[in-house]
Amino acid sequence: MSINIGAGETVPGAQFGDTTLPDWVIEPARRTVASNARNADDARELLAMLGLIQPSAHAKTRTCAGPCGRPLRGRHDDPDAHPGSVLSDNRHMCKTCARHVAPTKQDRPRACRGCGGAMRPNKASAKDWPGTKSHTGRGYCSGCYHKYPDGRTTKPTTFRMPDVCQGTCGRRLRPTKISEKEFPGTVGHFTSGMCRTCYRHTLKEAAA
């Protein structure tokens, strides 16, 4: 009797009459294998572990799908039992071939959340992705990432210095680090729309 796996896929040689186990053990094992096996190879391994088939008679050696073509072994397989084999990756290749041959997950450039420009994958060369920008983080390119450090998609509002001091003096303000010779009759802007004297006076009133 064969075991049906998935849509019509069968495991040849899975004969349950060859075992000495009772039927009340074989039938639950058959249902467990049929429900947990993803393909025929998984079913063979499970059946061999349960002792329902001979491992040597139905074992299938997997080979790397990359250029090396070397035999593969699983993570829990004994290296001494599989001489000349290499560890398998998730893409039916060894780790070396999967790292150098397997295509990148991103096959087209992403759009920056800030400027909308095309971004290439991380650690990708600009020669392989012409006309793109490097991706820094949070969906932003290197130029927009510093403009939107908190992940906002809109530009932050810039502070506009008022014309006159918002404190008690009411004098005209000049930009920071600008000499009074260039703007005579003005006072330098300190912070919060006030000059240094009015700002310190405000702090003293708040502390009192």
pTM of this structure = 0.26
Count of residues making up the chain: 208
Pair of tokens at residue 117:
């420009």
* CA proximity to 53, closest of 6, 112, 3: 3
Pair of tokens at residue 148:
């939107």
Q: For the chain, give the mean pLDDT.
A: 73
Dump pLDDT digits (tens) for 112-167.
888 888 888 777 788 888 888 888 877 788 888 777 655 554 555 555 777 888 88
Dump pLDDT digits (tens) for 19-32.
456 666 677 777 77
Pair of tokens at residue 143:
């130029």
**By three-state DSSP, how is residue 152 classified?**
coil
Element (H, E) at 57: helix 55-58
Q: What is the pLDDT of residue 25?
A: 67
Instruction: Let me know: does 117 contact 111? Beta carbons within 8 Å.
Output: yes
Instruction: Let me know: does 83 contact 70? Beta carbons within 8 Å.
Output: no
The torsion angles phi and psi of 122, rounded to 5 degrees, stand at: -60, 140
Residue type at position 25: V
Q: 33 pLDDT exceeds 70? A: yes
* CA proximity to 178, closest of 170, 167, 166, 190: 190
Residue type at position 42: D
Identify the residue with better confidence: 185 or 10: 185
Tell me the pLDDT band of 57, cut-offs 50, 70 and 90. Answer: very low
Q: What percent of the chain has pLDDT over 90?
A: 0
Dump pLDDT digits (tens) for 83-106.
888 888 766 788 787 777 645 555
Tell me the pLDDT band of 3, cut-offs 50, 70 and 90. Answer: very low
* CA proximity to 186, closest of 166, 161, 168, 163: 163
Instruction: Let me know: does 44 contact 60? Beta carbons within 8 Å.
Output: yes
Element (H, E) at 186: none
